[in-house]
Structure 1
């Protein structure tokens, strides 16, 4: 059994993927046994070809590349990587627009998880490409968080809702860590069924952390003693369709974990909000239309993907 299977998902961004893998190889010593599983998630063939030719797979026994001819989204793309992963104690789900910046990151995360029995997931401190600290923990995506807002929840119960903007020097339990770098106990991940592939983009990490906590009593930890760079916004474009996808995923997650009443409350709240905002904004008007139709996943970007010819 390997210590860690590292899973990367590439979507039309081969240059980022290659740099991400290069940084992992350079910063990781033989203190851990690991592999790198790369999933091309329905990229244009030209991008996939760059990736395939540049990885030089014949010269590395650590790296394997697989291709899906359709973009299956974040969760399903990573699940495809898990499907091809060797038996491992941990999975490291790492965005392709990240860079390792410190030595032995994987070793340190493994050591922390090994010594923390109630940990199911941990994630390092995220940094911008300019060296700025980025909030690397969040509260579970509940109706309370959406309606009462994060700052209020942190004010009334800082133990349950640790401050997102605080600089931590020791690991802290939190709701969830960013999907850009999630270090997960493989046995627990497998037990709860992994990522929910109904979600195309967004809230997969909140859903996974919720299920690990509910079913196994395992927590998610922010681990500030290791850092990595995340080029935010490079793997997805922040357009109105992405914002609609966020709301669709949130509504799906709300119904799944909190019931139909909470779902209806949140749906009506956002429908009214974007109806009023849509008077002056075409983007918000488009958001309103999607919510007025019920905010269901049949409007998801997943339903708009095409199968690549090769």
Structure 2
């Protein structure tokens, strides 16, 4: 058994994947054992070929590359990777990241030394080396209506400030999926990622379910670890992706907070995007989406094709 199984998804961004792997191998000390599991999520054949040839050149004995014939999304891709993993801990790392220090060892030691910690994440930086928000509050109607900043002012103990630099580990509600390390036992106990979700909110949902099922199993930001996240290199930013974000939001809210909460937010957002679409017609698609209930059946997941 390895100490950590690192699972990375590649989707038409092999250059980032290769740089991510190189940063892991160059920054991780030999005080821990780890394996690298790379899942190609049905990239075009040119990108996959480039990835395979580049990884062959690296010739890493602890690396396994597996190609999926269809894009299973973030949660599905990682769950596919878990099937090949044997680590005590799972590290789900976005391919558009690079480690700034010995992140994996720092996360491993933190989880080993803190038995009430089930999930942790390092401090996130952007490509300009600026500190970024590295945790979030659980998705709830209260958060969506009042906003994160107001919650942080009203109850700073339960909702610590996200826009603040922390020196010591901090207990939080949820950490980002861009770099998340979780105890395999805790991950298995809740069934891992919900593969109904194609993109967005998978990590929020995972952290919420672990906190509810496993008492005294908490989530932490560990700022001693540091990584750079280039953000969104595999995901184009357009109205279809924004629709996907809203579909996931409504699905996770209904799943974890109930039907009444879902209906309240659904109709508030329906009217919000009706008004917005008057001035920005592109938002009409979001109005229609919420009018229909933002069903999971409208997800991009339903449009996947089998790759050659």
Q: Which moved more, 1:13-22 or 1:234-243?
A: 234-243
SS in structure 1 opposite 2:297? helix
Hey, what's the Cα distance between the residues in 2 that align with 1:5 and 1:284? 41
Pair 1:294-2:293 in alignment:
yes
Rounded Cα–Cα distance in structure 1 between residues aligned with 2:142 and 2:131 = 26
Q: Deviations over 1:34-88 (max 9, x none)?
A: 0000000011111111111110179321100000011110000000010111x21
Determine the structure 1 residue equivalent to 2:246: 247
RMSD of equivalent CA atoms: 1.0
2:90 maps to 91
Q: Is the 8 A contact 1:57 1:63 kept in 2?
A: no
Match of 1:199 among 193, 197, 200: 197
Distance across 2 between alignment mates of 1:84 and 1:283 = 42
Measured in 2, the distance between the counterparts of 1:36 and 1:282 equals: 45
Mapping 1:153-172, distance limit 5 Å: 153-172=151-170
Separation (CA, whole Å) in 1 of partners of 2:126 and 2:257: 34
The alpha-carbon deviation at position 278 of structure 1 amounts to 0.6
Shift of 1:234: 1.4
Q: Which range moves more in the overlay, 234-243 or 161-170?
A: 234-243
What residue in structure 1 maps to residue 305 of structure 2?
306
Matched, 1:221 2:250: no
Contact 1:138 1:176 in 2 (8 A): yes
3-state SS, counterpart of residue 129 of structure 1: coil
Q: TM-score, normalised by structure 2?
A: 0.98
**Residue 119 of structure 2: aligned partner:** 121
Runs of 4+ that moved beyond 4 A: none
Contact 1:57–1:64, Cα closer than 8 Å, also in 2: no
- Residues of 2 paired with 1:271 and 1:59: CA distance? 52
List gaps (5 residues or longer) in structure 1: none
Aligned residue among 141, 144, 149 for 1:143 = 141
Aligned residue pairs total 307
Q: Could you say which residue in structure 1 is the equivalent of 2:265?
A: 266
Secondary structure in structure 2 of the residue aligned to 1:38? strand
Match for residue 209 of structure 1 among 181, 193, 207: 207
Where do residues 20-39 of structure 1 align in structure 2 (5 Å cutoff)?
A: 20-39=20-39
Contact 1:36–1:62 (8 Å) recurs in 2: yes
Q: Partners in 1 of 2:66 and 2:57 — Cα distance?
A: 11
1:134 partner SS = coil
